[in-house]
Amino acid sequence: MDEWQQNRLAEVVLGDIQFDCPMGQYTTLRAGGRAEAVCFPCRLEMLQQIVSFLGMEKIPYMAVGRGSNLLIRESGFKGVIIILKGELATIEREGMNLFSGAGLSIPELISYCSANGLTGLEFLAGIPGSVGGAAAMNAGAFDKDAGSMISHLFLITGTGEQLRLDQSELKFQYRSMSVPEGAVIFKVCFELDEITPEAVRTRATVYLKKRRQTQPLEYPNAGSVFKNPLNDFAGRLIEEAGLKGERVGGAMISQRHGNFIVNAGGASANDILELMELAADRVEALTGIRLEPEIKIV
């Protein structure tokens, strides 16, 4: 971006912007290169202006939630990272429909559901991402996925227009869904059921306990690194290849779960990528299966 573009963008977000920003602070892996800019729109009108402006100026952009499924290469991102907050991270209820801003964190979502006796999303307990990220990636665990609970969502198109898409239009698949190119999700509607708050809390606690028993939550990580191949599990294949505990620099394949790469201390994006490549190569040599990344590499 040139100086005029930077100044104009800063005006739109009322100065809530960081330039030449190290992305490790905005990803759960605590690693990654720099983004040309990170901005924090807090109102829908602000988001519309940002997307319209970046589109007209042909400046690359990407919406990021809590960075729980993301790795920015050391070479960085030449463009603008958009992180939603304020009005775009709030929650409202209409009967059994729960409208959540895309910037809301999953822990905040689960906390609201627990307090209000809304059931259906407990399986997400312990996932550190955002609602928008969970929708975009069709986040899942324990044979359940977010897409099955989403009635519809709202987004800003690449030209700054609002658009509503129903579940049938989103074409949810394993760890993905379909939205127009350049679109940014700003609100998600979940269709839930009602039980007692105590029952919701109990269910969420059960899922959280399972997660803590099997996943290395004590280290910075990005969740599952690879997609599960058809009728198998990436973690099992990595463990069978004897890769638990394997390290490259500060990056390590978890001793607790083979499909988790953790930042054991000072890991760079290059360390993580090299370890991912090593694991994929070793598994392919052993089984003929090439593991595909689940985390988004930018």
pLDDT reported for residue 16: 96
- Residue 210 tokens read as 């399972």
Q: Is 148 a catalytic residue?
A: no
Residue 56 neighbours by CB distance under 10 Å:
10
Contact 116, 93 (CB under 8 A): yes
Q: Please write the tens of the pLDDT for every residue from 95-139.
A: 999 999 999 999 999 999 999 999 999 999 999 899 999 999 999
Considering 30, 66, 175, 201, which one is annotated as catalytic?
175
Write the pLDDT tens digit of every residue in 5-14.
Answer: 999 999 999 9
Catalytic one of 68, 224, 254, 268: 224
294 is catalytic: yes
Neighbours of 113 (CB within 10 A): 27
DSSP assignments along 175-239, one per residue: TB----TT-EEEEEEEE-EE--HHHHHHHHHHHHHHHHHHS-TTS-B-S--BPPPTTS-HHHHHH
d(CA 246, CA 154): 42
Residue 41 is predicted with a pLDDT of: 97
Question: Domain limits of the chain?
Answer: 3-83, 90-214, 234-297
Chain center to CA of 31: 15
The architecture that CATH gives domain 234-297 is Alpha-Beta Complex (3.90)
Per the annotation, the verdict on 93 as an active-site residue is no
Marked catalytic residue, from 36, 122, 246, 294: 294
Angle between helices 44-56 and 3-12 (to 10 degrees): 160
What is the helix (H) or strand (E) element at residue 19, kind and residue range?
Answer: strand 17-22
Cα three-residue angle 134-210-149, rounded to 5 degrees: 30
The pLDDT assigned to 206 comes to 96
Annotation: CATH topology of 3-83 = 3.30.43
pTM over 0.75: yes
Q: pLDDT tens digits for 14-40?
A: 999 999 999 999 999 999 999 999 999
Give the span between the Cα atoms of 247 and 56, in whole angstroms: 44
What CATH number belongs to 90-214?
Answer: 3.30.465.10
DSSP 293: B
| First-to-final CA distance of the chain | 18
* Mean pLDDT in residue range 59-71: 95
